[in-house]
Chain A
Amino acid sequence: MSTPVLRVEDLHRSYGRGPTRFEALKGVDVEVRAGESLAIVGKSGSGKSTLMHLLALLDRPTSGSVELNGVPADRLRGRELNRVRNETFGFVFQQFFLTPSATVLENVILPLKIAGVGRAERKRRGMAVLEQLDLADKAKNKAIDLSGGQKQRVVIARALVNDPQVIFADEPTGNLDTTTGAAVEDLLFGLNRERGITLVVVTHDEELASRCDRRITVRDGRIEASATATATTAATGEPGRPTEEVAA
């Protein structure tokens, strides 16, 4: 089997120090394989976002290792780390994080601007991705004037514009009604299927989780269970103990 895109081992992350010290992750092992869709589920406050941020190299673990394409992430410094964040990953957050006064196009091409892509090329690629998401006619509108579903599509367009290897989505549908949420889900799984983009989705939504190839459940900072989409959650693993991944 090929090396996983991301692999974390015995991951610990604690916040604060002394008596207020809180251990959000208490030894987590996860593998994310190229081209799969992985759901991270669990109760509120269980550590899902913390784990996702560590996987996305936005945060550094207190202890444990993170590997990107087989390379230890702590070897990546400054410029290289920024390149990975810019080119390898795309982000969809629960809040839209759009610049309200800027146009849709300007919002979408922000990663390209950061990457130092030229003006003409930025516009071409930005328009291409908006075309794909049926937002071309909104390109010149201010981001604030869009509906919630449109905003989330703009966010996805932004995550997509730099052709990432992995898209991280933290509660991508949490802010949307069922119909719009379903449309956004279709979009994400379509990208996963057709372009082979690896999908890591943090969600509360059982329905969304079940559409993923695989799910891991986080409870109190530990991985509780992992299963393929077809297996039942209860069938595997012992609660409170990290479970080793078994290749499907």
Chain B
Amino acid sequence: MKPVDVVGSAVANTFRSRTRTILTVLAIFIGAFTLTITTGLGTGINRYIDQTVAEIGAEDVMTVAHQADETADDGPREYDPDAVAASGIGPDAPGAAQTIDPITDDDLVTIAGIDGVESVEPLKQVSVDYVQHEGGTQYAISVGSFIPGMELVLASGEQPDAEASEPQVAIPVDFVEPLGFDSQADAVGSVVEFGVTDATGAEQVVTAEVVGISEAGLIGTGNSASPNTALTDELYTAQATGATGQTDVYGSAIVTFDPELGEAATQALKDDLDEAGFTATTVEDQIGAFKSVIDGIVLVLNAFAVIALLAAGFGIVNTLLMSVQERTREIGLMKAMGMGSGKVFGLFSTEATFIGFLGSAVGVVLGMAAGTAVGDALATTMFADLPGLTLIAFDPVSVATIIVLVMAIAFLAGTIPAGRAGRQDPIESLRYE
């Protein structure tokens, strides 16, 4: 029998006892449907995280700071007037209460000398008292650190230009109306003032052009004002006016490296920095923990779906065992007519695989439809504050994987009845009543 005829006969046989086939397909459908949704959940959330990573900063930078003193257990720590609050990339970083040694110009030279460091820039941290538009109400605002390569999710306007010599800023969408703008379009292109307290306690004002309106992000920089390099420098200078001690010390530095060199090279660079007394954190490190939690949850959900599929597998075993029983004489006849055991096995295992294909194809298609509908609905209601988050998303590879996985389970389930059919003796089968 030709392979094409084996498949053709198997498909035809599948529809011979329609009710039984439909019920078996239904069981597989439930498993495949669930697996599609849970996998889609993982894809959707991780895709959003990846997008957030791009927002936080480029992949080729790491934040470098002095290692925190490991003296927590040794009683109260002595006050160090030069100590700065530790902070990672982005504003509002948690754990800011811990203090570490500041990065000095000497440290920058040391870091620049380490193998694998392409460039090092101090991360200038500025704190702004308020933001104001044309003498209107003053609002408190935090200012993020601008890292080249960072991409904001914008509601309108453009990304602040790192190269520009004029100070530019992107303000969060929440500030548009309070600052007195009629619309986002109205805000883009206008000028806002930032109030900064300098080292002597005097008030300094820095103006900047609004070039973009940023959307709020999950953990991104969208919740604070995002300045370009020129604005950061101006704010920093204003802040440092009249300072005596801490002028050229920074909380952390941004090191650029080549991520193309691979995981090992990146790790080696981190180790070297560690030896020199610094901690280095890549964007991936920051986001990695979050991702592994999501992956863990999705894995557990997927496990439930796979359990459902295994149960459906027993349904296939049952269905086909009944088929083999019913078709005993037919199998005997085919063998008497010279059909080999392997082909008989192939016929029944193909039938099982086809049942698996039917269930998974229907499950995946409906799962994608339902998942997309639910994801879209949630995106405009529950997650309206997190634009760009599609809770359930699909990529072709994982969808194809589900179909192949289900077909593999179905095939394995089919080997039991198919094996029985293949071993059947033609004479006994023909005598079977």
Select the stretch in B234-242, B251-259, B337-345 that faces chain A: B337-345
Given A53-B427, A58-B427, A116-B1, check contact A111 B16 (CB 8 Å): no
Q: A58-100: which have CB < 8 Å to B?
A: 58-59, 78-79, 81-87, 91, 93, 95, 97, 99
Residue A140 CB within 8 A of the other chain = no
Measured in the bound complex, the distance between the Cα atoms of B337 and A87 in whole Å is 8
**Chain A min CB distance to B57 (Å):** 62
Q: Mark interface residues in A109-142 (1 if CB within 8 Å of B CB, else 0).
A: 0110111101000000000000000000000000
B340 near A79 with CB under 8 A, answer yes
Residue B334 CB within 8 A of the other chain = yes
B337 near A111 with CB under 8 A, answer yes
Residues of B within 8 A of A82 (CB): 338-340
**Chain A min CB distance to B325 (Å):** 16
A114 near B337 with CB under 8 A, answer yes
A115 near B430 with CB under 8 A, answer no
Residue A175 CB within 8 A of the other chain = no
Q: B303-345: which have CB < 8 Å to A?
A: 329-330, 332-334, 336-340, 343
Q: B1-40: which have CB < 8 Å to A?
A: 1-2, 5, 9, 12, 16
Residue B426 CB within 8 A of the other chain = yes
Closest to B16 in A: A101
A83 near B338 with CB under 8 A, answer yes
Q: B397-433: which have CB < 8 Å to A?
A: 426-427, 430
Residues of A within 8 A of B336 (CB): 56, 58, 85, 91
Residues of B within 8 A of A114 (CB): 1, 334, 337-339, 343
Residues of A within 8 A of B16 (CB): 101
**Chain A min CB distance to B207 (Å):** 82
Closest to B338 in A: A86
Residues of A within 8 A of B330 (CB): 97, 99
B430 near A97 with CB under 8 A, answer yes
Given A97-B329, A97-B430, check contact A115 B9 (CB 8 Å): no
Measured in the bound complex, the distance between the Cα atoms of B2 and A99 in whole Å is 20
Closest to A122 in B: B5
**Chain B min CB distance to A166 (Å):** 13
**Chain B min CB distance to A24 (Å):** 12
**Chain A min CB distance to B86 (Å):** 75
Residues of A within 8 A of B430 (CB): 93, 97
Residues of B within 8 A of A58 (CB): 336, 426-427
Residues of A within 8 A of B339 (CB): 82, 86, 114
**Chain B min CB distance to A152 (Å):** 15
Please report whether the interface of chain A is mostly helix, strand, loop or mixed according to DSSP: helix
**Chain A min CB distance to B346 (Å):** 12
B340 near A85 with CB under 8 A, answer no
Please report whether the interface of chain B is mostly helix, strand, loop or mixed according to DSSP: helix
B337 near A86 with CB under 8 A, answer yes
B337 near A85 with CB under 8 A, answer yes
Measured in the bound complex, the distance between the Cα atoms of B12 and A85 in whole Å is 25
Contact of B340 among A78, A87, A102, A118 (CB under 8 A): A78
Measured in the bound complex, the distance between the Cα atoms of B341 and A79 in whole Å is 10
Given A93-B430, A97-B330, check contact A113 B338 (CB 8 Å): no
Contact of A115 among B12, B333, B338, B427 (CB under 8 A): B338
Measured in the bound complex, the distance between the Cα atoms of B422 and A78 in whole Å is 13
Closest to B6 in A: A113
Measured in the bound complex, the distance between the Cα atoms of B336 and A111 in whole Å is 10
Residues of B within 8 A of A86 (CB): 337-339
**Chain B min CB distance to A180 (Å):** 22
**Chain B min CB distance to A224 (Å):** 24
Residues of A within 8 A of B340 (CB): 78-79, 82
Measured in the bound complex, the distance between the Cα atoms of B12 and A114 in whole Å is 16
Contact of B338 among A53, A85, A102, A118 (CB under 8 A): A85
Residues of A within 8 A of B426 (CB): 58
B427 near A110 with CB under 8 A, answer no
Given A97-B330, A97-B333, A116-B1, check contact A111 B427 (CB 8 Å): no
Closest to A114 in B: B339
Given A82-B340, A93-B430, check contact A113 B5 (CB 8 Å): yes
B329 near A111 with CB under 8 A, answer no
Measured in the bound complex, the distance between the Cα atoms of B333 and A91 in whole Å is 9
Measured in the bound complex, the distance between the Cα atoms of B2 and A101 in whole Å is 22
Q: Which of the listed residues B2, B338, B339, B430 has the most CB atoms from chain A within 10 Å of its own CB? A: B338
Measured in the bound complex, the distance between the Cα atoms of B412 and A40 in whole Å is 46
**Chain A min CB distance to B306 (Å):** 35
B338 near A110 with CB under 8 A, answer no
Residues of A within 8 A of B12 (CB): 102
Measured in the bound complex, the distance between the Cα atoms of B338 and A111 in whole Å is 8
Q: Which of the listed residues B1, B2, B336 has the most CB atoms from chain A within 10 Å of its own CB? A: B336
Residues of A within 8 A of B332 (CB): 97
Contact of A113 among B9, B329, B427 (CB under 8 A): B9
Residues of B within 8 A of A93 (CB): 430
**Chain A min CB distance to B21 (Å):** 13
Closest to A158 in B: B337
Residues of A within 8 A of B329 (CB): 95, 97
Closest to B342 in A: A78
Residues of B within 8 A of A115 (CB): 1, 338
Residues of B within 8 A of A116 (CB): 1-2, 5
Measured in the bound complex, the distance between the Cα atoms of B430 and A53 in whole Å is 11
Given A78-B340, A86-B337, A93-B430, 10 more contacts at CB 8 Å? Answer: A82-B339, A82-B340, A84-B338, A85-B336, A85-B337, A97-B330, A111-B338, A114-B339, A114-B343, A115-B338
Chain A residues in the interface with B (C-beta under 8 A): 53, 56, 58-59, 78-79, 81-87, 91, 93, 95, 97, 99, 101-102, 110-111, 113-116, 118
**What are 15 A-B pairs at a CB distance below 8 A?**
A58-B426, A78-B340, A83-B338, A91-B336, A97-B330, A97-B430, A99-B330, A111-B337, A111-B338, A113-B5, A113-B9, A114-B334, A114-B339, A114-B343, A115-B1
Closest 7 CB pairs of A and B: A86-B338, A85-B338, A82-B338, A114-B339, A97-B333, A111-B337, A116-B2
